[in-house]
Chains A and B, each alone.
Chain A
Amino acid sequence: MNTTNLFLENRLRSMNKKLIFRLDWLSIFLYIALVIFGMINIYSTRLSESDIAVWDLGSPVGKQLWIFVFCLIILPAILYIKSNFFEHLSYVFYGLSLLSLIGLFIFGQTISGATSWYLIGGFSLQPSEFAKITTALVVASNLSSLQTDIKKKLHLAKVLFLISLPMALTILQPDAGSALVFLGIFFVLIREGLDLRYLYLFMGLLLIFILTLVFDPFLISISGLFLIFFFYLFVKRIAPKTKKLSFLISFGICILFSFSVNFIFTSVFEQRHRDRFNIILGLETDTRGIGYNINQSKIAIGSGGFYGKGFLNGTQTKGDFVPEQDTDYIFSTIGEEWGFIGSTLLVILFTLFILRILYRAEKHTATYSRVFSYAFASYIFIHFFVNVGMTLGLVPTVGIPLPFVSNGGSSLLAFSFMLFIYLNFDANRLNT
């Protein structure tokens, strides 16, 4: 009996030792830095609201802090799970999270128009945050299977179907912002061999979309015609075999898309959606109405200057001029109180974090763990790009949080989960 125990203990110790050395400590450091920086700023935004007890579960900072402590104590357990556990149970987790999304329509809590939360004992849980993890797992599982080749249309369709289910359920809540994040998987697909023409098509359509909103669809069509014609002549010279038909078709698609954007924009979008695009594109400069938030956010950031006003000294922050300051607009507080130095540092931290994950992901030999790590990086990137871009007035207003930094238990929990799964895969990549 003693010997078996001793044996197990030794075994465990040696594993631990090994594990500790194998961990991606840089990512862990970046993670902790981001969360703590976030909490400091949440504390600052909520300071003016009577007394704040940092340790009190009832206060926003307290809640965030306790969730963080929970993550640091409990989640490392994930590291000891065998990596293929996730691979085997991908579809089960995926199914469960779909159920949790569907269950929202029955048991969900409606907060400011969207039924996106379960209320459990004073905590509100947002299942779409966790659906991101399971979707990443299931896509990883799908792509890693030997039969799958996403160059084949049928296989691609299957992957897209897996992504579109949770996405559609999230749109129905309606929470278009969170649904948008699922599109991050698009980067994974490109990495895994998706035809690059999809990327060009996507970029092209995005360009036409924006141009159509800025200029007249008719004008776009005419100039598109000339461009494609000259491009055709140019290509014809180099490669005389090129078919005319494909150019004609692509031209037709451009015109159709341009006009349909116009139609969707004027007939399908609601005014608030239109407003957001219009503000970003500088079509309407109503800084008092819909543009007020962005304008105030820009003033807050701009007023920070080089060094910032210092911790707790943000007047914009104190005056509650920017809405959702501890969640979606937390970057404006950072910009105001920590200035150019602080906000640039945060941007660099994020960039480093994402690049670090991507760098480690490329080291994986197993498709499964690579795809998951890639998806993790893509999610962080989409959140980071949309959130900071919105706060800086570069991207239309989409209400999604800044990962690890914004106030919000579900977001922190879900991203921490993903981090530890990533750390698990990363640490065990040679074992599997």
Chain B
Amino acid sequence: MIRKGILSAFVIGSCFLFIFQLMSLQLFNSEYSALSQNNAVEKRPIYPNRGLIYDRNGVLIVANQPVYDLMVVPENIQPFDTIEMIEELSISKEEFLLKLKKAKRFSYKLPSLIIRQISGENRASFQEKIWKYPGFYFQKKLARDYVLPIASNLLGYTSEVLPREINKENDYALGEMIGRQGIEKTYENSLRGKKGTTLYQKDRFNRIIGPYKEGAFDTKPKSSENLTLTIDALLQQYGESLLKNKRGGIVAIEPSTGEVLALVTAPSYDPNSLIGRKRSKNFSVLVNDTIAKPLFDRGLQAEYSPGSPFKTLNALIGLQEKVITPETRFRCNEGHYYTKNAFMKCHCSYGSKNDLIKGIYNSCNTYFAKTYLGLINNAVTPAEGVNRWREHLEKFGLGNYLGYDLPIGKKGFIPNSNYYDRWYQKGRWGGTTIISNAIGQGEVLTTPIQMANFTAAIANRGYFIKPHFKKSFSQKEKDSLFTKNYTLIEPQHFETVIEGMYQVVERGTAKIARIKGIEVSGKTGTVENFVRLNNEKTQLSDHSIFIAFAPKDDPKIAITVFVENGYWGGRWAAPIASLMIEKYLTGTVKRKWLENKMLEGSLMDEYDKPLSGKPFTINE
């Protein structure tokens, strides 16, 4: 009967089918028989080198260097001389044994890390002996190499990616580097590129013998992009040396393009200290320094009162709002009573009568107090006056983020009428209440980069371009990203103020900033500042500040220098700014005496004063 045979037929049929398939796989298939000795596959990522970083002139700032992680595969370890090993690696016995134990607990088969980022030289000596230690091997990695040890604040740094940052989309793996701060963070994606994978064929002794299936399943890495910065490495380096032993910041911008030429903060750190085995130790030193704050970028994050340079903006707004004309004169008697029993001091001599230009180059408090009173009180209400004034300032990029391509920054502060309504109640305040704003003290706060930016707007006679740090944009990107941001001031008003600023350097408060053959326009500032010391409001030495641009008629550089507790503007900030301008425009500095004075000058004693616990005097 046919029924009895059906299942048997199936069984016998399957038997033949399977034997046939086994024959084709094991005996006749050239592909599998060729693989007969080497059938294991190992997957390895291929990393594109992290993108290099150049300055605006093509000077290499950041490159890559090989470092070596010492890895171990516990399965392959054979008895070895532990003492020799730990001496060679300069690691304590306890630490070494602990790491080894951890590695064994993690996996016998998979590699674990023993020591991270051993430098090339240290590795070389150990490499000769590594045959004595089966199971241990070096894994090459690329770390950053800071060819020029400058601009650590704006370059940022890289470190190993954290487990919680890894997800499927970003495709990071443990041990890979990620940009943490500055340029490294902003442009992480283009600097990183895209990793690929190679599958390797291994033989039965686990040796790699070639690509798996001729690389048919490999994925190619996408190479990273090199980055050209707007920074001028020489100028940056010069600025950093000028701010040595001082605290503060320098921001230099090319007004016509918005490109940042230098962004200096002091104190800073050597970026190379964050590479290699000592990284974590060095990093915690930087983080824990809460007094000098080396990781705090004073150029971007420090909000100071702008001081006298702010008078230039008030002058422009006064002209635009027709509160003053260039010819308007105000009388100053070493200051003036702006209201009953309230006297604002000024260093103009008794009985002087200043017009606008003279008001600027003598930095006359009286002149700008009266201008500001006019701005606020001539409006329908003081509230409208303040809001109109704020509107002007916002157009200069104040009171908000500028939108540059670094991950940190501060908004600064420009008060509006609501702010004063809350503070003084509605209708209970007027121009005299908030008179300090006239001379850049008061409630107004700006960061150095915002000041450099409005200086650039003045230099451009009415517009600024968003400051930025990457130069290698395509023309299309440039056109869309970097449009002219116009202020509400008509161009003719700028000429008067710029003339005033020119006179500041020629005959005013910053004669020290004069450079032979270059017309510099600037404005000094001496900013009063207070801190809480033992729960008491204490005044410290004034901040020294200077804004400038040059040449006057065809501005190539706009600069802001801020030196904390440097006393008056002409003392530190103006000379430093002047040296920077000279260096940038001529390539050399001829005033060696001034250069040496600035390079060698130190304010460290000044900074120690409030910490000493002893009574101290300021502004010496």
Contacts and interface: CB of A to CB of B under 8 A. Distances in A.
B21 A302 contact: no
A119 interface: no
Nearest to A385: B14
Nearest to B12: A351
B32 to A, nearest CB: 3
Given A335-B26, A351-B12, A392 B21 contact: yes
Interface string B17-33: 11101110111010111
A222 B13 CA distance: 31
B4 A305 contact: no
Residue with the highest number of chain A CB atoms closer than 10 Å, among B19, B39, B41, B75: B39
B217 A302 contact: no
Nearest to B43: A288
Interface in B383-415: none
A345 B316 CA distance: 99
B109 interface: yes
A4 to B, nearest CB: 47
Given A298-B32, A355-B12, A187 B18 contact: no
A196 B14 CA distance: 21
Given A347-B15, A354-B11, A340 B217 contact: no
Contacts of B8: 355, 358
A52 to B, nearest CB: 13
A300 interface: yes
A30 interface: no
Contacts of A196: 2-3
B40 interface: yes
B4 A392 contact: no
B11 A381 contact: yes
A89 B237 CA distance: 95
Contact of B26 (A192, A301, A319, A377): A301
B201 to A, nearest CB: 10
Contacts of B12: 351, 355
A394 interface: yes
B25 A301 contact: yes
A257 B346 CA distance: 99
A316 B202 CA distance: 10
A214 B33 CA distance: 29
A220 to B, nearest CB: 25
B166 to A, nearest CB: 21
B120 to A, nearest CB: 32
Interface in B37-72: 37, 39-41
A110 interface: no
Interface string B182-222: 00000000000000000000111010000000000100000
B35 interface: yes
A190 interface: yes
Given A355-B12, A381-B14, A299 B217 contact: no
A339 interface: yes
Interface string B86-108: 00000000000000000000001
B7 A298 contact: no
Contacts of B6: 187, 190-191, 199
B131 interface: no
A421 to B, nearest CB: 19
Nearest to A300: B39
A303 B19 contact: no
Contacts of B588: none
Interface residues of B, number: 38
Contacts of B19: 344, 347-348
B608 to A, nearest CB: 61
B77 to A, nearest CB: 14
Interface string A360-403: 00100000000000100110010011001100111000000000
A306 interface: yes
B106 to A, nearest CB: 13
Interface in B446-503: none
B449 to A, nearest CB: 49
A414 B35 CA distance: 39
A305 B37 CA distance: 10
B10 interface: yes
B26 A348 contact: no
Nearest to B42: A319
Given A299-B39, A309-B204, A319-B40, A378 B26 contact: no
B37 to A, nearest CB: 8
B39 A394 contact: no
Contacts of A38: none
A14 interface: no
A301 B36 CA distance: 9
A304 interface: yes
A287 B217 CA distance: 8
Nearest to A303: B39
Nearest to B29: A302
A339 B7 contact: no
B11 A351 contact: yes
Given A316-B39, A392-B21, A302 B33 contact: yes
A302 B36 contact: yes
Contacts of B2: 196
A269 to B, nearest CB: 25
B109 A48 contact: yes
Nearest to A188: B7
Contact of A347 (B4, B18, B33, B36): B18
Given A339-B26, A347-B15, A302 B204 contact: no
Nearest to A392: B21
A280 to B, nearest CB: 12
Contact of A288 (B18, B40, B217): B217
A299 B18 contact: no
Contacts of A187: 6-7, 10
Nearest to B104: A50
B26 A321 contact: no
B36 A305 contact: yes
Nearest to A302: B32
Given A187-B10, A301-B25, A302-B26, A315 B32 contact: no
A407 interface: no
Interface string A308-332: 0100010110110100000000000
A406 interface: no
Interface string B103-136: 0000011000000000000000000000000000
Given A190-B6, A287-B217, A315-B202, A304 B26 contact: yes
Interface string A249-293: 000000000000000000000000000000000000001100000
B16 to A, nearest CB: 9
A139 B567 CA distance: 103
Contacts of B202: 315, 319
B21 A303 contact: no
A351 B15 contact: yes
B7 A340 contact: no
Contact of A394 (B7, B17, B217): B17
Nearest to B24: A302
A418 to B, nearest CB: 16
Given A302-B33, A303-B32, A392-B22, A321 B7 contact: no
B7 A389 contact: no
A392 B22 CA distance: 8
Residue with the highest number of chain A CB atoms closer than 10 Å, among B12, B29, B35, B40: B40
A384 B14 contact: yes
Contacts of B15: 347-348, 350-351
Given A199-B6, A321-B41, A355-B8, A302 B18 contact: no
Nearest to B216: A287
22 contacts: A48-B108, A48-B109, A187-B6, A190-B6, A192-B3, A298-B32, A299-B35, A302-B26, A302-B39, A304-B36, A305-B26, A305-B36, A309-B204, A321-B39, A321-B41, A335-B26, A343-B26, A347-B22, A348-B15, A351-B11, A381-B14, A388-B18
4 residue pairs, one from A and one from B, having the closest CB atoms: A302-B32, A351-B15, A303-B39, A302-B25
Given A187-B7, A319-B202, 4 more contacts: A304-B36, A306-B26, A351-B12, A394-B21
